[in-house]
Structure 1
């Protein structure tokens, strides 16, 4: 997804997509959902101050976020600002837990045929939409067929032959050919279940006041400001959510968000800069909750640009950047230097095999000498404003470029314009992050390497026929050594040609008030609020 800080979570358009953040404090390989100051603590899902066995209920949780929710159309959105609101209203047949494992969700069970072509799901008994209407297999058919028709940024890539309800609770999906990532991709927010025929209203009307199966229902919404959810009284997890309301409060500046958290004006903040983590962790009334990350922070090149179409220029910059030094300087122990495109928490990351371009200024100068611009050149680096870590990141890259004769002007602009610019290829280079939306290597790889896909290789327009061939092979191959070898070759090619430079794998960091329990952080950067409780 694009994780745009507020960012593009592919699972990126967070941070583009920063749709661009996120598990273990000292490593990005675990997913314990724990306070950062206690590495041995377990996920806190009960209120220790409530009566034994009885959760504390009630209250309003205010969550500071850097970007407003502009749309709840699950099939047409990908940026984190919208995705992490959509997943509070709509839920999918299967989901993933905080460990990144696929689990049955609206479906009580699922089965995949031995040939990988037939997927059968049985819905939970008594499942209801937020308006009290029964959820049926026909609703699931309608939802998936609408997604197939719309396509959208997280289109269903599998070649689907048929989707049908065999009875009121059973759904059968048949593929034309095997597509290994399919079950993981069904866990995406974009495959949530909506009422058949939008419940009898128009699409436009439906997505202004959506009906879903999620723990929350939209009560009040300003697409340029805040969004207020109320608890879904028909939620299938009995007794949850424990809180009455969830407010997404727009706070565009990192420092303002931190100040409001410390002052108790908000109960949590979505975007916690790495350099502020220890301040919040050590605060008397605040804490940091972390989880393992599906995110890779990256420097992206527009390969349509005359300078960055030259592979030697891209390799020169990759050699000039000290990734380990950059990571240590900016992330305060909450990230690991990147080796390949895939973060450590995603299978087939090939970290034991991929050889990245290590920091070497002399080699960088030699590489630039092989390019069409041996004497250097001037260019611009596009950065979204309001993120202090990214601002410092840009300065480090600027200094690295200067060492080899590349003069980089930093162009810092507000987030909405930043998105518009890179969506339109109106940039030479940019800082952003890419993330998986599901625990599947293809999730990031397809988004960042398919020149014909929605994002055109994450707006770099990078095209390599061998990479595209390996991408398709990886999608069809069953999990195992053969698939691992395919991704190893693909990731090594990306490391050699660097259409984007993986910089580091950040932990997910959420700043929260010490007065709350039950925060469950997912490795895509979203939060499950079903079990959040206020301490008494």
Structure 2
């Protein structure tokens, strides 16, 4: 998330998920569009699709990136062996088939026939082996966590990966954008040079790129899905302010906008020229504590704030029916979520005061809340949290800074509390649990530095345990500990909302917040 929404890799997805996808047909003008009759359906080809986004694409390095601004561009250029669909189900992608041995140690993938990279060269199992091996070498924030014994190209089409021990999330992990397939040995150039001019199998190729501004893709003429993408160009247009993005959508200056604020959804639905695509998501909005801060290293302080916050009320006030109050770290769309059964610290001001009295700061204190500017929903949420703190004697100063600086601050652990989003990147509960609870991981428990040996033990047990009742019990116990010790307070599970013109057809919203443009059409 990307594991994180503000981030996030969002930033930043699960077996047997029930994800609602509401696809509206909608109208933005596209010039020089040609129609092709395909039987019952008429496909509109050509045109340039302009997509408004709140942050620029700064890198295509799939191994080192995590934030949604980059992840959701990387996945247009590089594709994995297996991928998840809008319902969160894993299926073959570059692989035409795959199999897993009974002992859970050997994974065999057979590549599709006729696969080519965007430069016209054939894709082989050696390319796939190199790509995954390189990810193991580079590691990065979304490193492959499975203990890999070997990666071998059995022949030009067959890749065999052998694990040292079972790792249940492995297939889902391979579906992540960070495991896209690229040319063997980076096509003969350095890794740094390669990611400046990336070559992949995806539907689009980078044509023009300003790391501080807009990005233009053109269609990949060698794309393996015959006839796709339908559009000729895809432009990522930088629009940092929500209001400007909505105004440009209404005016027809863009075809769609990412990260539509929940409070503006009904406005666009009621507007004649616009609509909203929505899906349930793998996201969760949270209040994070830096446990290196002396105040928030105290569990009683964290528990007091959790008890002071009315989560159902703030969800209702902020999300306009496009979210569900959160008690658990795992969103409802993720298998093993316990939101309905967990014993949470529900709103109780008197209990909150008593809890604070048990802390080292019984009379309260002052602290800062870090947020990214430009999002009205986040700003309103910060004010609600500020007021909740005030009721128990905790004075919260809101520090609103632009998105890039916000990221720099929490990457450096330079915050006391912050509002940010959690995001599963691939369809397994471990995607979000590992990122937010592993003190040895890249983010040190999502920049909180939270450490609980029992939580860490349960996390590792869950990774090795096959899906079923035993794994469910492990994750239920883990989630309850997090609800009791609240290194972060789950607030609500927001839907993914994409604002669209009413001429847009075929745009697919994924539960990780990304969208697929390979089938998008701009109708008249």
Give the corresponding residue for 2:415.
427
Give the corresponding residue for 2:48.
60
CA contact (8 A) 2:19 2:88 kept: no
Gaps of 5+ in 2: 27-34
Give the corresponding residue for 2:519.
531
Q: Secondary structure at the match of 1:426?
A: coil
CA distance in 1: counterparts of 2:460 and 2:192, whole angstroms: 36
Q: Which of 416, 431, 448 does residue 460 from structure 1 map onto? A: 448
The C-alpha deviation readout for 1:300-331, integer Å capped at 9, x for no partner, is 00000000000000000000000000000000
Give the corresponding residue for 2:335.
347
Change over 3 Å in CA distance of 1:50–1:196 after alignment to 2? closer
Moved more, 209-218 or 28-37: 28-37
> Is 1:376 aligned with 2:392?
no
Cα distance, 1:4 vs structure 2: 5.0
CA contact (8 A) 1:33 1:98 kept: no
Cα distance, 1:417 vs structure 2: 0.5
Q: Secondary structure at the match of 1:167?
A: coil
CA distance in 2: counterparts of 1:318 and 1:427, whole angstroms: 18
Cα distance, 1:200 vs structure 2: 1.2
How well do the aligned residues superpose, as a CA RMSD in angstroms? Answer: 1.6
Mapping 1:43-122, distance limit 5 Å: 52-122=40-110
Mapping 1:436-515, distance limit 5 Å: 436-515=424-503
Give the corresponding residue for 1:282.
270
Q: Secondary structure at the match of 2:153?
A: strand
Gaps of 5+ in 1: 23-27, 38-46
Cα distance, 1:205 vs structure 2: 1.8
> Is 1:337 aligned with 2:325?
yes
The number of residue pairs the alignment matches comes to 513
CA distance in 2: counterparts of 1:263 and 1:274, whole angstroms: 20
Where do 4+ consecutive residues of structure 1 move more than 2 Å? 1-5, 28-37, 47-54
TM-score relative to the length of structure 1? 0.94
CA distance in 2: counterparts of 1:415 and 1:184, whole angstroms: 30
Give the corresponding residue for 1:144.
132
Change over 3 Å in CA distance of 1:504–1:344 after alignment to 2? same
CA distance in 2: counterparts of 1:174 and 1:423, whole angstroms: 34
> Is 1:31 aligned with 2:20?
yes
Give the corresponding residue for 2:172.
184
Cα distance, 1:32 vs structure 2: 2.4
Cα distance, 1:440 vs structure 2: 0.5
TM-score relative to the length of structure 2? 0.96
CA contact (8 A) 1:36 1:290 kept: no
Cα distance, 1:516 vs structure 2: 1.1
CA contact (8 A) 2:230 2:520 kept: yes
The C-alpha deviation readout for 1:123-159, integer Å capped at 9, x for no partner, is 0011110111100000001100100000001000000
CA distance in 2: counterparts of 1:29 and 1:408, whole angstroms: 38
Change over 3 Å in CA distance of 1:36–1:362 after alignment to 2? farther
Cα distance, 1:49 vs structure 2: 10
Give the corresponding residue for 1:239.
227
